[in-house]
C-alpha cells in the first residue's frame, strides 16, 4: 500500500471511530432527556391523581379547618409510583401559599410523619401538595440500564473492530516494507556474482591473450564457476526458505548429541569466515543430548552462530553454553556484536524481517535465518528467545526437550 493511501485509510478509520462514539454519546444524552421529560409527566400525573383522592379539607370550627392525615397522602403517592414502576425515595408536604414564602404545614418522608392530622387557620388556604423526588437520575438511569449496556457493548465491539482494522493496515504496511527490502536485498546480493561472472566471461571472450594462456584461462573459468555456484546457493536458499519446505517437511527425530552438532556447525563457519579471526568459547555439559532432527537442528544452530559472527564487525567473539535442567536442554549463544534494540527483538523471528537502521542493513542477508531457526525449534516443541542490548551484543537461547525425558 502506498504511504499516502495508508495515511488516508488510517485517518478515515480514526475519524469513523470518533464519529461513531460522538453519535452514540449524542443518542444517549437525547434518550436521557426524553426519558426525563416522560418521567416528570408521570410524576405530575401521579401527584394529581393522589391529590384528587386525598380528602378535601373539612371545617373544624369557624376559624380553622382540619386537613387529612399526611400518611394517607403519602400512601396514595407511593401506590401511584409503585404502579408506574417508579418506586423511588420521595418526600410529600402540605404547604400554605398565603405568605410570600410557602409555609410547610405537614411534611413526611417515607418513614416519619412530622404530624398526622392538623388543624390549620382557614386563611392559610389555598394549600399546596408537594411531592419531591429525591434522586430522579438514578431512577431514569436505572430504567435506561439495559439500553446503555447494549450500547456500550456495541461501542466496545466496534472499537475492537476498528483497532483490529488499524492493526491490519499497519501490518500490511510493514509487509509492504519487508517486500520492498527483500527485493532490494535479493537484487543487491545477486548482482555481485552476476557482475563478476559476466566480467570474467567477457574477458575470456574479448581478450585473446587471456583465452590463449591456459593458466589465465583456468583462473577465469574458476571465477565464473565459483560465482555461478554462489548464485545457485543463494537461489536455493531463497527458494527453500520462502516455500516453507522446512515448516512442513517430515522431521526425523533421533537422539542428537549437541557437542557433535555444534562442532560440525563451527567447522563449516570457520571455513566460511576464514578471512576473519573468530574467537570461540564452547562449553557443553556432559551428556547434553536432545530429541531432534539433526539436519535441521544443525541448520538452526548454524543460522544463529552465523549471525553472531556476521553482526559482530570487530573481532567476533562467540560463546556457546549448553546445559540441562528439568527435562530440557538450553543452548545459549552469545556474541559481542551490534545488538538488537528491544523494540525489534520479537520481529527478528518474522519471515524476511531485517533491521533497517544502523549497521545491520550494511550486512547482507534475506531475513530468513532466524525465521528458519524459530520454526525448527517450535516444531521440536521448544522455544527460542533473545536477550540483547544495542551496541553490546546479543544472546539467543534455544530450549529443547531432552532426549528420553
Distance between CA atoms of residues 259 and 284, nearest Å: 7
DSSP three-state, residue 352: coil
394 touching ligand ADP, by CB under 6 A: yes
Question: Does 73 participate in binding ligand ADP (rule CB under 6 A)?
Answer: no
Q: Which helix (H) or strand (E) holds 234?
A: helix 214-242
- Give strand ranges (E) for 352-392: 383-389
Asked if the peptide bond before residue 103 counts as cis, ω within 30 degrees of 0, the response is no
Verify binding: residue 355, ligand ADP, rule CB under 6 A. yes
Q: 148 near 141, Cβ under 8 Å?
A: yes
Strands 328-334 and 393-401: antiparallel
| Among the residue ranges 210-218, 231-239, 261-269, 353-361, the one whose residues contact ligand ADP (CB under 6 A) | 353-361
Q: Distances in Å between the alpha carbon of 388 and those of 282, 315, 338?
A: 20, 18, 9
Q: How far is the CB of 357 from ligand ADP (least distance, A)?
A: 9
Cell numbers that stand for 306 in this block: 552465523
Which CB sits closer to ligand ADP, 39 or 366? 366
Stretch of 73-81, 291-299, 359-367, 376-384 lying at the interface with ligand ADP (CB under 6 A):
359-367
**One of 120, 261, 301, 370 touching ligand ADP (CB under 6 A):** 370
Handedness of CA 179, 181, 187, 190 (dihedral sign): negative
- Shortest Cβ distance from residue 332 to ligand ADP (Å)? 12
Among 369, 375, 382, 403, which residue sits at the site for ligand ADP (rule: CB under 6 A)? 369
Size of the site for ligand ADP (CB under 6 A): 22
By CB under 6 A, the residues from 286 to 325 that bind ligand ADP are 303, 307-308, 311
What is the pattern of x (binds ligand ADP, CB under 6 A) and - over residues 323-352?
A: ------------x-xxxx-------x----
Q: How far apart are CA 32 and CA 39, in angstroms?
A: 10
Q: Using CB under 6 A, list all residues that contact ligand ADP.
A: 303, 307-308, 311, 335, 337-340, 348, 353-355, 360, 365-371, 394
Amino acid at each position: 500500500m502506498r504511504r499516502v493511501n495508508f495515511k488516508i485509510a488510517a485517518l478515515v478509520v480514526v475519524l469513523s471511530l470518533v464519529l461513531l462514539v460522538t453519535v452514540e454519546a449524542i443518542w444517549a444524552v437525547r434518550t436521557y432527556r426524553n426519558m426525563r421529560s416522560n418521567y416528570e409527566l408521570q410524576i405530575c400525573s401521579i401527584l394529581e391523581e393522589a391529590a384528587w383522592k386525598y380528602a378535601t379539607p373539612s371545617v373544624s370550627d369557624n376559624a380553622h379547618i382540619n386537613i387529612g392525615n399526611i400518611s394517607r397522602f403519602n400512601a396514595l403517592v407511593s401506590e401511584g409510583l409503585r404502579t408506574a414502576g417508579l418506586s423511588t425515595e420521595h418526600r410529600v408536604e402540605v404547604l400554605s401559599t398565603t405568605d410570600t414564602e410557602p409555609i410547610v404545614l405537614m411534611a413526611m418522608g417515607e418513614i416519619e410523619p412530622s404530624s398526622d392530622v392538623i388543624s390549620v387557620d382557614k386563611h392559610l388556604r389555598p394549600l399546596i401538595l408537594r411531592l419531591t423526588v429525591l434522586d430522579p437520575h438514578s431512577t431514569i438511569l436505572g430504567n435506561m440500564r439495559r439500553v446503555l449496556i447494549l450500547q456500550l457493548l456495541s461501542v466496545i465491539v466496534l472499537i475492537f473492530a476498528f483497532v483490529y482494522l488499524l492493526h491490519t493496515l499497519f501490518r500490511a504496511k510493514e509487509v509492504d516494507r519487508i517486500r520492498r527490502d527483500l527485493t532490494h536485498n535479493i537484487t543487491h546480493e545477486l548482482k555481485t556474482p552476476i557482475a563478476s561472472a559476466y566480467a570474467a566471461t567477457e574477458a575470456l571472450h574479448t581478450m585473446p591473450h587471456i583465452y590463449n594462456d591456459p593458466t589465465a584461462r583456468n583462473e577465469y573459468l574458476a571465477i565464473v564457476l565459483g560465482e555461478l555456484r554462489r548464485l545457485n546457493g543463494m537461489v536455493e536458499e531463497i527458494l527453500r526458505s520462502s516455500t516453507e519446505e522446512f515448516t512442513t517437511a517430515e522431521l526425523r527425530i533421533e537422539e542428537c548429541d549437541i557437542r557433535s552438532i555444534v562442532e560440525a556447525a563451527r567447522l563449516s563457519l570457520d571455513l566460511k569466515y576464514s578471512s576473519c579471526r573468530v574467537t570461540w568459547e564452547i562449553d557443553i555439559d556432559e551428556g547434553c543430548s536432545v530429541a531432534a532432527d539433526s539436519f535441521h537442528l544443525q541448520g538452526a544452530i548454524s543460522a544463529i552462530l552465523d549471525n553472531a559472527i556476521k553482526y559482530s564487525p570487530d573481532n567476533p567473539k562467540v560463546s556457546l553454553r549448553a546445559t540441562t535442567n528439568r527435562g530440557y536442554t538450553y543452548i545459549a549463544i552469545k556474541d559481542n556484536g551490534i545488538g538488537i534494540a528491544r523494540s525489534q527483538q520479537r520481529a527478528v523471528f518474522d519471515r524476511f524481517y531485517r533491521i533497517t537502521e544502523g549497521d545491520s542493513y550494511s550486512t547482507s542477508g534475506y531475513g530468513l535465518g532466524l525465521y528458519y531457526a524459530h520454526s525448527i525449534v517450535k516444531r521440536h516443541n521448544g522455544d527460542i528467545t533473545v536477550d540483547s542490548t544495542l551496541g553490546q551484543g546479543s544472546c539467543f537461547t534455544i530450549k529443547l526437550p531432552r532426549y528420553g525425558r
